[in-house]
A and B are shown apart, each in its own frame.
Chain A
Amino acid sequence: MAEAAVQTKEPLFGKKERKLLIDPLNDNNPITVQVLGICSALAVTTLVFKALVMSIAVVFVCAFANLFTSLLRNSIPKQVRMIAQLVIIASLVTIVELVLKALNYPVYKELSVFIGLIITNCIVMGRLEAFAMANKPWRSFLDGIGNGLGYGLILIVVAILREIFGKGTLMAGSPVEMKLIGPNNEAEDIVYLINTAAESGIGSYFSWYANNNLMVLPASAMFVIGVLIWIQRSWNRKLVDIS
């Protein structure tokens, strides 16, 4: 009884809860530290908009899967917990898929397989096993959001680098598309911020500039993430792999 009284006094959003949200962004990042969820991540990072949609989907699935598993954690038998978890995740992913299909069909077409692959995204499964099966619903929900955001952060950083250097645009395919650098094409009404075909002005200093086609290839995502891990670990020494 005394224990229950103490627990009701805990603040709804205290230090521990904040830690659940902030920790996965750096010290315990799902991609660069826990090495989870790389599977469905990297192929969607060619465009920032795709990465953004994917991150929102993962935050949603991760948060609600954590919440529901945590609510059911006392009634799920240990032997069938994997199947139970997979069913929860698969239903949430189906919801995401149908919503995306209705809202933005072109993006759905491009992401199609990778939305489905959120089911086997190890972040979701991993957090369910490691956190939601042993913690209260509210905390599990926050943990899900935190891990989803940590995943989204890396995804978007990689996508920004790949899109700017690979295509010279930002957020292409979305309503707020920005064209940063490249040769203008008046016939097709394509105008860049820095026009590399210009005879004068800033653009004329950049006439040597060409998009880096390596950045569009899948392999470049690996290089970018490898370098990100390098930067993170040089700055956050305690993460360095000693083995």
Chain B
Amino acid sequence: MEALSLFIKAAFVENMVLAYFLGMCSYLAVSKSVKTAFGLGLAVIFVLGITMPINWVINEYLLSENGLFQTDLTFLRFILFIAVIASMVQLVEMIIEKMSPSLYNSLGIFLPLITVNCAILGGSLFMVSREYNFSDSVVFGLGSGFGWFLAIIAIAAIREKIRYSAVPPGLRGLGMAFILTGLMGVAFMSLMGLIGN
């Protein structure tokens, strides 16, 4: 039950995009059509779900004071986390290329982009600052990935439709995307009641 409420919290109430603005760069750049947004969203869920537990293990058993080296190595956290993320993305890319070339072709360009998606590193840093345990980190990773997926699908669908509307010239494109994201943020906030407090 606790895991479920953490999942819902990560996916809806504290949505990576709509509450913390993480991963906004690729969110705005890749949300012009639903099809590509869908592929990127799936890849983000996958990478978040993998890197979060790995980073948890690294943080707990290598960097912390009671870890392998018995010294406080937390100043290495940024470098190690980003290295894990970069290598994981590389690995995922290679696996997908071998297993399913068709999926690889449709995702191709977006996979390397995930390395610099702030939602991935942000998720790991949130996990550290909120002191999650191992199972929490898995649930939190999948939940926030799912939230990111939902957000990008929703904005892509809206942007596909809004192309046919009469938006003032200065607001066309980027400006409108920002305001829509703001409105979505307000809407998602109303889901706060779901987790009880």
Q: B-contacting residues of A (Cβ < 8 Å)? A: 32, 35-43, 82-83, 86-87, 90-91, 93-94, 97-98, 112-113, 116-117, 119-122, 125, 217-223, 225-227, 229-234, 240-241, 243
Contact = CB atoms under 8 A, between A and B. Distances in A.
A35 B79 contact: no
Interface centre among B115, B121, B177, B189 (most CB of A within 10 A): B121
B175 interface: yes
Contacts of B178: 222-223, 225-226, 229
B115 A82 contact: yes
Nearest to A236: B170
A35 B174 CA distance: 8
Contact of A230 (B22, B79, B175, B185): B175
A241 B182 contact: no
Given A38-B24, A87-B79, A241 B86 contact: no
17 contacts: A38-B21, A40-B22, A43-B21, A82-B86, A86-B86, A94-B75, A122-B116, A218-B21, A219-B18, A219-B183, A222-B21, A222-B179, A226-B182, A229-B175, A240-B169, A241-B173, A241-B174
B169 A233 contact: yes
Interface string B110-134: 0010011111111001100100000
Given A42-B21, A233-B170, 11 more contacts: A38-B24, A39-B23, A82-B112, A83-B83, A90-B82, A113-B129, A218-B20, A219-B181, A225-B178, A233-B175, A243-B173
A240 B83 CA distance: 38
A83 B170 CA distance: 38
Interface of B: 18-25, 28-29, 75, 77-79, 82-83, 86, 112, 115-122, 125-126, 129, 168-179, 181-183, 185-186, 189
B170 A222 contact: no
A65 B174 CA distance: 28
A234 to B, nearest CB: 4
Given A117-B22, A218-B19, A35 B179 contact: no
A119 B25 contact: no
Contacts of A36: 25
Contact of B22 (A32, A39, A119, A223): A39
Contacts of B20: 43, 218
A53 to B, nearest CB: 17
Nearest to B123: A113
Contact of A119 (B23, B121, B168, B181): B121
Given A36-B25, A240-B172, A119 B78 contact: yes
A28 to B, nearest CB: 14
Contacts of A35: 25, 28-29, 174
A223 B179 contact: yes
B18 A230 contact: no
A223 B28 contact: no
